[in-house]
């Protein structure tokens, strides 16, 4: 019998979440962000769910783009970090990709390339993130150079808001963006909204939006709005079982480092899930867990292959009792918050050794 841990990927939930993004987008096109192996959910699975409904896709590297095209899909594909060397441009042309242009070196590569088929590009504006893109002093020169390149077809202006998921919102960076682009960039299409912007400020959608975490059932702003309140459904459920039970008395410790010490009689369950499966090692005592659908808590330090949970109030639980680590019935955002991280990291950290079960979409 295989080890009793599995991740269930619900493709219908993924389609449901995309439909919410599409509704929020209004007249804009919604490009599903499937980078990082679709946030750990599996690129091929995301394509199964979204291939016939997504307006386009956004990802990071050429290998991912090849997989999308090999799947038989012809929608636009955005390369969010663009290309990295001149040799990449042959593949960009062949696959008809839309690279983000965020530095002068990329523009020079395009100027020196001899492309037979024009490509669309996204010109990235630095509106305050200070990560990638052209600021106000360099934007107009970059745009002028791109406009002079025969192989460049459509130019779309792009930016990334650093605090769209926080109370501060997008007002300041949006003002900066408009100031930078008001003259030379007037009339060009815009790609502004990630998940947080799309959900909180749909008026800033532009012509292309790029929903990411919301597609996978995570809230981009769990402190403000839970995924459930946003109408999103969990796509990934990580589940396992109790494989051992221990009886503790006052003073007994649990796990490495004895970070949890019982203050009285307790029942402790041992779950077949640890940090080698993708569960966060830094999840502290008190991190929520579901045991047979009922809430409990993690105890002590997470091990490589196991973690402990409190069964004191669950006398019916024992070896073989099902456990949900996150997903259906237990929001990943809540688990992530308890562990001092975000649901993105939980999803992306899912280990290859965890078997995956697919719940098919109704197409």
Catalytic annotation on 108? no
d(CA 270, CA 243): 6
What DSSP character marks residue 283? P
Q: Is 31 a catalytic residue?
A: no
DSSP string, 292-329: TTEEEEEES---SS-EEEE-TT-TT--TT-EEEEEBTT
Query: Cβ distance 214 to 225 under 8 Å?
Result: no
Q: Which residues of 245-255 are buried (b: 16+ CB within 10 A; e: fewer)?
A: eeebeeebebb
Residue 302 has pLDDT above 80, yes or no: yes
pTM of the model: 0.95
pLDDT at 224: 86
Q: What is the mean pLDDT of residues 115-142?
A: 95
pLDDT in tens, 67-88: 999 999 999 999 999 999 999 9
Of 24, 35, 124, 233, which is the active-site residue?
35
For residues 211-229, give the mean pLDDT.
Answer: 95
What pLDDT was estimated at residue 182? 93
**Mean pLDDT confidence for 161-172:** 93
The pLDDT, as a whole number, for residue 363 is 58
The proportion of the chain whose per-residue pLDDT surpasses 90, expressed as a percent, equals 95
Domain 11-216 in CATH 3.20.20.10: yes
Average of per-residue pLDDT values in the chain? 96
Q: Has residue 96 got a pLDDT over 70?
A: yes
For the chain, domain boundaries: 11-216, 236-359
Structure tokens at 303: 């091990």
In 3-state terms, what secondary structure has residue 356? strand
CATH number of 236-359: 2.40.37.10
Mind listing the pLDDT tens digit for each residue in 251-291?
999 999 999 999 999 999 999 999 999 999 999 999 999 99
């Amino acid at each position: 019998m295989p080890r009793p841990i599995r991740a269930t990927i619900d493709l219908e939930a993924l389609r449901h979440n995309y439909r919410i993004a599409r509704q929020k987008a209004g007249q804009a096109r919604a490009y599903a962000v499937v980078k990082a192996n679709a946030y750990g959910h599996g690129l091929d699975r995301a394509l199964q769910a979204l291939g016939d409904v997504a307006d386009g896709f956004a990802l990071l590297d050429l290998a991912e783009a090849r997989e999308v095209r090999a799947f038989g899909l012809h929608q636009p594909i955005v390369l969010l970090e663009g290309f990295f060397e001149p040799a990449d441009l042959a593949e960009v042309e062949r696959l008809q990709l839309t690279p983000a242009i965020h530095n002068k070196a990329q523009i020079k590569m395009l100027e020196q390339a001899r492309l037979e088929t024009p490509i669309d590009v996204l010109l990235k504006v630095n509106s305050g993130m200070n990560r990638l893109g052209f600021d106000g002093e360099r934007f107009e020169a970059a745009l002028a150079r791109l406009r002079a390149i025969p192989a460049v077809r459509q130019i779309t202006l792009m930016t990334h808001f650093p605090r769209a998921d926080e109370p501060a919102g997008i007002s300041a960076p949006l003002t900066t963006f408009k100031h930078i682009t008001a003259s030379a960039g007037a009339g060009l299409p815009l790609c502004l909204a990630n998940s947080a912007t799309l959900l909180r400020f749909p008026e800033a959608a532009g012509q292309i939006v790029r929903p990411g975490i919301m597609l996978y059932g995570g809230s981009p702003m769990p402190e403000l709005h839970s995924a459930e309140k946003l109408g999103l459904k969990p796509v990934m459920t990580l589940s396992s079982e109790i494989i051992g039970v221990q009886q503790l008395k006052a003073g007994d410790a649990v796990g490495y480092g004895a970070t949890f010490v019982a203050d009285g009689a307790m029942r402790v369950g041992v779950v077949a899930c640890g940090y080698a499966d993708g569960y966060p090692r830094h999840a502290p005592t008190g991190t929520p867990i579901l045991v047979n659908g009922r809430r409990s808590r993690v105890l002590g330090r997470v091990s490589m292959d196991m973690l402990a949970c409190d069964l004191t109030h669950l006398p019916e639980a024992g070896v073989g009792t099902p456990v949900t680590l996150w997903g259906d019935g237990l929001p990943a955002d809540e688990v992530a918050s308890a562990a001092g991280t975000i649901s993105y990291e939980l999803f992306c950290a899912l280990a290859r050794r965890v078997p995956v079960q697919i719940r098919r979409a109704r197409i």
